[in-house]
Chains A and B, each alone.
Chain A
Amino acid sequence: MTDLTELGVAAIRDGIAKGDFTAVEVAEAFNANVAAAQEALNAFIVVTPEKALEAAKATDAKRAKGEALGIMGGVPIGMKDLFATKGVQTTAASHILEGFTPEYESTVSQKLWDAGAGMLGKLNLDQFAMGSSNETSYFGNVISPWRRKDGGNAALAPGGSSGGSSTAVSARLAPAATGTDTGGSIRQPAAFTGISGIKPTYGRCSRWGIVAFASSLDQAGPMARDVRDCAIMLEAMAGFDPKDSTSLDMPVPAWEAGLSGDLKGKKVGIPREYRMDGMDADVAASWDAGIAWLKDAGAEIVDVSLPHTKYALPAYYIIAPAEASSNLARYDGVRYGLRDLPEGSGLQDMYAATRAAGFGAEVKRRILIGTYVLSAGFYDAYYTQAQKVRTLIAQDFKNAFTLCDVILAPTAPTAAFGLGEKSDDPLAMYLNDVFAVPASLAGLPAMSVPAGLNREGLPLGLQIVGKQFDEQGVLNAGLAIEQRAAFSAKPEKWW
């Protein structure tokens, strides 16, 4: 019998439906991998093998009765610990929410359970999704399953903020996982670990029940082994939600059914501003390979310009912290989560003590930045200016999409770096998001697919950015690359 943990979403769903194996067998196999890897990889904050089994039993029972299984029927998944899960601790990897158990279920996770998925556990992440290496979690670093082929055993970053998700999928602890992407938090970790991940158009997935980082940017999306699995899972996650005012009131397309790697008649834009001086040679080579693959798939390659690209990162690091500084004000020790009330102290002391103890350094840094840029006297110079840049960036894409259907670029400027290599230098860390952030600011669908390995044997990802609402175009271009890159590398098991 095949190793069930080598299977992805489609294979598991179809195998269960055909009776090749049971959902319980699948859940047990993944539960075992989760348990075996937890100490070494620290991908999960909470493991819930019983939840995975319970959902699996329900799927098997349905099948026995001949009932229709959902589009994720019998597929166990990891849930990023930013999604509120009823009765299961939800922390956003922070101390301030340690022990917080919601009495409600996020819209997206509920949709996944309704589609037949089960939960293996709550995945580790950068604290409040702030980070690009998963080193800001209160619950410890997530260790990438990948290692450089230099003979050393340096622990590598799995990317962030969805580092638990990328590690779990890449190390075969889960066939798929949820991620959230504010400025690259799905795409960059997917690229670092050789998996696929898509951030849909802003508003496709409800934000209701997701711990907010930056409301105007946050989007949930799937992270999985391949493009088809992403399409299936995104179908389960997406949909209008009246509880989220920014949710798109549009039908969810049948993305899986619409998959096609044939790009005849399509135009792929190559943004010249993304080819920067001193670009990593392997990254540049993989980008060129991607261009060749898409040409091979029938697409026409065109040069496009996104002239305001260089302002994207600074604008992002104003807007996202500004929103975060306000979104995180609710963690005040009054109603839930951590409360640090020093003897004889008053309300202001309690706020200060609770937030000092409850937030990590990176979260504090962003709250400070956000508070600063919104302050009287600085607002226009920073926030207003950043919003103007955001408008210009969206306009850049609009203009580019008059010439092409999708845009191809690297996902990240480098492959995975070592843990600790950038954690003392926030600016170097922020630069990791340089290719990812523009699509976030414009609210566009964007995905990362594996393109190959660099000379150190580490995965590199290629990013496809599409027009608003055109997830299908993004997925199809991703599929065309996937079919030609034939990426089959996986981390050698050392844990």
Chain B
Amino acid sequence: MDPPPRRDAVTPFLAAKWALSAQVMSTYRIQGATGEWEVVIGLEVHAQIMTQSKLFSGAATAFGAEPNTQVSLVDAAMPGMLPVPNRECIRQAVRTGLAIQAQINKWSRFDRKNYFYADLPQGYQISQLYHPIVGEGAIEVILDDKDPEGSTKTIGIERIHVEQDAGKLMHDQHPTMSYVDLNRSGVALMEIVSRPDMRSPAEAGAYVAKLRQILRYVGSCDGNMDQGSMRADVNVSVRRPGEPFGTRTETKNVNSVRFVMAVVEQEARRQVGVIEDGGAIVQETRLYDPDKNETRSMRSKEDAHDYRYFPDPDLLPLELDDAFVEECRASLPELPDAKRHRYETALGLSAYDAAQLTLEVETYQQFEEMLGAVVKASGKLERDLAKRVANWLLSERAGVLKSIPEGAAHPKNTVEANTALIIAASEGLISGGKAKEIFAAYLTSDIDLAAEIDANKQTSDTGAIEAAIARILADNADKVAEFKGGKEALFGFFVGQTMKAMQGKANPQVVNELLRKALG
């Protein structure tokens, strides 16, 4: 869209947001030949709304279909065809707005953005310039998962509007002609416009990742950046710290978090180079070439379009009632920040574990499903089991799944199997390490899980362990003397010997305690 208005001024909304949490100040600087430069970043993220049909037509939206098989008469802009808004697209935009605590505009309107291109059948894109459906909002990004409280920054979001996607030109089908695939033509997009609040590649990356996470939680966008369902236009400028904004460039269609960060860095360095060489930055559109890791000019302002925006006369203004907005609000799931907070406080997990578990929808869903199953099977409290389940998911099981070709998709990687192993480990029947071994064996061979757990049960039978310890201490009187003489490291040796004597089935905690006592 057209350059959004840029405001350095803090709006009351953002000021209120900032007051709620301590804001980190970025210290990221580009070191130029003449001194330090600060980079200023604003992002326009295009997110494809996850719906069965397009924004204004009934055509399907599946990814990867044969060219021109998902095109209605409306999408092809046949004479006399008219757009009709898809309620579900509007609903998802409102839900997304609510998820970023934004103002929902109950009165919004569609505008036409006019320009000619072969991938744009109508000769205009239906968008929302003057009255977007979602107004000002914000999201909080965490720059360090291990220290969420100390590394939070609030990034303002200026607006979200809905608009149509264009088709796609194919230049490799014919020696002299280009072909056009209209499957994407008319697909619903949300354009999420941030304020120029980011000051480093890390902040830009964290913003995109957080936005993606929220969209995926809400279910309004699948966040598949490699399929183009989420892509960012990266606005970058540089300035001396504390000075007014510099002239910015816009790098279009950047399709991964890593590339967004690379674009910020490369573009900032390029701009600093240009300015320090006595040049001026041209406000222009640029493209990112990941192979060369550089941006290059696409078109400059001189041949910029006059899009002649005006209200689409085929569509009435979009008016939302309170009931609709409330239904949208009620349908929202627990969102990432709330979930992470609950994991830390109610479940007693570490900040890092909570962040890891809430990162992806699939991860938290597995965690909660597994925790529920384990709680149910063991009768224990969530809080007492959460750490065990988290360790299993994030560390022990993750290692096993990484080592097999099927990964998490292995058919025997069931909730039941996981639950059995977690319970066995949490009750001290087997160690976490043993559970991991058994799980690997279970997935790759034909063993009975229950029998295997049973066969590997560690004993807490103090009599047997004490007997073994007594024997080992007697056989190693010299080492006992050394230990008592101060060679503490030998404790590990005694543990190893005892475990070996117990064929690995002794509860390590019990072994530790009894050894301390015997050596004490």
Measured CA separation A330–B314 after assembly (Å):
15
Which residue from A97, A207, A211, A374 sits with its C-beta under 8 Å from B310? A374
The chain B residue with its CB closest to the CB of A351 is B116
**Does A62 sit at the interface, judged by CB under 8 A?**
no
Which residue from A83, A106, A332 sits with its C-beta under 8 Å from B116? A332
Q: Are B316 and A84 in contact (CB under 8 A)?
A: no
The chain A residue with its CB closest to the CB of B84 is A245
Measured CA separation A371–B78 after assembly (Å):
21
Which residue from B80, B118, B308, B314 sits with its C-beta under 8 Å from A106? B80
Measured CA separation A246–B85 after assembly (Å):
11
Which residue from B78, B123, B178, B306 sits with its C-beta under 8 Å from A102? B78
Q: In the complex, how many residues of chain A place their beta carbon closer than 8 angstroms to a beta carbon of chain B?
A: 44
Given A211-B79, A334-B180, A383-B310, A104 and B123 contact (CB-CB distance below 8 Å): no
Which residue from B79, B84, B121 sits with its C-beta under 8 Å from A334? B121
- 399-414 of chain A: CB within 8 A of chain B: none
**Does A376 sit at the interface, judged by CB under 8 A?**
yes
**Does B82 sit at the interface, judged by CB under 8 A?**
yes
Given A326-B308, A383-B310, A211 and B80 contact (CB-CB distance below 8 Å): yes
- Kindly list chain B residues whose C-beta atoms are within 8 Å of the C-beta of A326: 112, 114, 123-124, 308, 310
Q: Are A243 and B82 in contact (CB under 8 A)?
A: yes
**Does A41 sit at the interface, judged by CB under 8 A?**
no
- Shortest Cβ distance from residue A319 to the other chain B in the assembled complex, whole angstroms: 9
**Does A125 sit at the interface, judged by CB under 8 A?**
no
Q: Are B313 and A214 in contact (CB under 8 A)?
A: yes
- Shortest Cβ distance from residue B100 to the other chain A in the assembled complex, whole angstroms: 28
**Does B73 sit at the interface, judged by CB under 8 A?**
yes
Mark B95-127 against chain A: 1 for CB-CB distance below 8 A, else 0.
000000000000000001010111001111000
- Kindly list chain A residues whose C-beta atoms are within 8 Å of the C-beta of B79: 84, 90, 92, 97, 100, 102, 211-212, 330
Which residue from A83, A242, A245 sits with its C-beta under 8 Å from B83? A245
Measured CA separation A351–B121 after assembly (Å):
12
- Kindly list chain A residues whose C-beta atoms are within 8 Å of the C-beta of B114: 325-326, 329, 374
The chain B residue with its CB closest to the CB of A215 is B313
- Kindly list chain A residues whose C-beta atoms are within 8 Å of the C-beta of B116: 329, 332, 348, 351
Q: Are A347 and B80 in contact (CB under 8 A)?
A: no
**Does B490 sit at the interface, judged by CB under 8 A?**
no
**Does B81 sit at the interface, judged by CB under 8 A?**
yes
Which residue from A104, A243, A374 sits with its C-beta under 8 Å from B84? A243
Measured CA separation A210–B79 after assembly (Å):
7
Given A208-B82, A374-B308, A245 and B121 contact (CB-CB distance below 8 Å): no
- Kindly list chain A residues whose C-beta atoms are within 8 Å of the C-beta of B178: 347
**Does B315 sit at the interface, judged by CB under 8 A?**
yes
- Kindly list chain A residues whose C-beta atoms are within 8 Å of the C-beta of B85: 245
**Does B281 sit at the interface, judged by CB under 8 A?**
no
**Does A65 sit at the interface, judged by CB under 8 A?**
no
Chain A interface helix/strand/loop/mixed: loop
Given A245-B314, A326-B112, A374-B310, A335 and B80 contact (CB-CB distance below 8 Å): no
The chain B residue with its CB closest to the CB of A210 is B80
- Shortest Cβ distance from residue A80 to the other chain B in the assembled complex, whole angstroms: 12
- Shortest Cβ distance from residue A391 to the other chain B in the assembled complex, whole angstroms: 13
Which residue from B77, B80, B124, B309 sits with its C-beta under 8 Å from A84? B80
- Shortest Cβ distance from residue B95 to the other chain A in the assembled complex, whole angstroms: 22
The chain A residue with its CB closest to the CB of B117 is A347
Measured CA separation A207–B84 after assembly (Å):
12
**Does A209 sit at the interface, judged by CB under 8 A?**
yes
- Kindly list chain B residues whose C-beta atoms are within 8 Å of the C-beta of A211: 79-80
**Does A323 sit at the interface, judged by CB under 8 A?**
yes
- Kindly list chain A residues whose C-beta atoms are within 8 Å of the C-beta of B124: 326, 329
Q: Are B80 and A212 in contact (CB under 8 A)?
A: yes
Measured CA separation A100–B73 after assembly (Å):
14
Given A208-B81, A330-B79, A246 and B310 contact (CB-CB distance below 8 Å): no
**Does A240 sit at the interface, judged by CB under 8 A?**
no
**Does B76 sit at the interface, judged by CB under 8 A?**
yes
Given A326-B124, A330-B79, A215 and B306 contact (CB-CB distance below 8 Å): no
Measured CA separation A334–B114 after assembly (Å):
16
Mark B149-165 against chain A: 1 for CB-CB distance below 8 A, else 0.
00000000000000000
Q: In the complex, how many residues of chain B place their beta carbon closer than 8 angstroms to a beta carbon of chain A?
A: 30
Q: Are A207 and B82 in contact (CB under 8 A)?
A: yes
Chain B interface helix/strand/loop/mixed: loop
Measured CA separation A44–B124 after assembly (Å):
33
Measured CA separation A214–B84 after assembly (Å):
17
Measured CA separation A92–B80 after assembly (Å):
11
- Kindly list chain B residues whose C-beta atoms are within 8 Å of the C-beta of A103: 73
Measured CA separation A307–B492 after assembly (Å):
101
The chain B residue with its CB closest to the CB of A329 is B123
- Kindly list chain B residues whose C-beta atoms are within 8 Å of the C-beta of A84: 78-80
**Does A336 sit at the interface, judged by CB under 8 A?**
yes
Mark A203-228 against chain B: 1 for CB-CB distance below 8 A, else 0.
00001111110111000000000000
**Does A244 sit at the interface, judged by CB under 8 A?**
yes
- Kindly list chain A residues whose C-beta atoms are within 8 Å of the C-beta of B112: 326
Which residue from B76, B83, B84, B313 sits with its C-beta under 8 Å from A335? B76
> Which of A244, A322, A326: most chain B CB closer than 10 A?
A326
Given A347-B118, A376-B306, A323 and B80 contact (CB-CB distance below 8 Å): no
- Shortest Cβ distance from residue A331 to the other chain B in the assembled complex, whole angstroms: 8
Measured CA separation A334–B119 after assembly (Å):
9
Q: Are A330 and B83 in contact (CB under 8 A)?
A: no
Measured CA separation A35–B513 after assembly (Å):
111
- Kindly list chain A residues whose C-beta atoms are within 8 Å of the C-beta of B315: 245-246
**Does A375 sit at the interface, judged by CB under 8 A?**
yes
Q: Are A216 and B313 in contact (CB under 8 A)?
A: yes
**Does A311 sit at the interface, judged by CB under 8 A?**
no
Measured CA separation A443–B314 after assembly (Å):
14
- Kindly list chain B residues whose C-beta atoms are within 8 Å of the C-beta of A325: 114, 308
Which residue from B117, B121, B308 sits with its C-beta under 8 Å from A371? B308
Q: Are B73 and A104 in contact (CB under 8 A)?
A: yes
The chain A residue with its CB closest to the CB of B2 is A376
- 287-327 of chain A: CB within 8 A of chain B: 322-323, 325-326
- Kindly list chain A residues whose C-beta atoms are within 8 Å of the C-beta of B73: 103-104
- Shortest Cβ distance from residue B477 to the other chain A in the assembled complex, whole angstroms: 93
Which residue from B121, B180, B309 sits with its C-beta under 8 Å from A330? B121
Q: Are B82 and A244 in contact (CB under 8 A)?
A: yes
Q: Are A330 and B122 in contact (CB under 8 A)?
A: yes
- 359-374 of chain A: CB within 8 A of chain B: 371, 374
Measured CA separation A325–B310 after assembly (Å):
11
- Kindly list chain B residues whose C-beta atoms are within 8 Å of the C-beta of A97: 79
> Which of B78, B83, B85, B306: most chain A CB closer than 10 A?
B78
- Kindly list chain A residues whose C-beta atoms are within 8 Å of the C-beta of B82: 207-208, 243-245
**Does A487 sit at the interface, judged by CB under 8 A?**
no
- Kindly list chain B residues whose C-beta atoms are within 8 Å of the C-beta of A212: 79-80, 314
Given A245-B315, A371-B308, A375-B308, A330 and B77 contact (CB-CB distance below 8 Å): yes
Mark B290-317 against chain A: 1 for CB-CB distance below 8 A, else 0.
0000000000000000101110011110
Measured CA separation A375–B309 after assembly (Å):
8
- Kindly list chain B residues whose C-beta atoms are within 8 Å of the C-beta of A417: none
Measured CA separation A219–B443 after assembly (Å):
69
Q: Are A329 and B122 in contact (CB under 8 A)?
A: yes
Q: Are A322 and B310 in contact (CB under 8 A)?
A: yes
- Shortest Cβ distance from residue B220 to the other chain A in the assembled complex, whole angstroms: 23
**Does A379 sit at the interface, judged by CB under 8 A?**
yes
18 A-B interface contacts by CB (under 8 A): A84-B79, A97-B79, A100-B79, A102-B79, A209-B81, A210-B80, A211-B79, A212-B314, A245-B84, A325-B308, A330-B79, A330-B121, A332-B116, A335-B77, A347-B117, A374-B114, A379-B308, A379-B309
15 further contact pairs, Cβ within 8 A, besides A84-B80, A102-B79, A103-B73: A104-B78, A207-B80, A208-B81, A212-B79, A244-B82, A245-B84, A245-B314, A245-B316, A246-B314, A325-B114, A326-B124, A326-B308, A329-B123, A335-B76, A351-B116
Binding site for A on B (CB under 8 A): 73, 76-85, 112, 114, 116-118, 121-124, 178, 180, 306, 308-310, 313-316
Cβ-closest 5 pairs across A and B: A329-B123, A216-B313, A374-B308, A215-B313, A330-B77
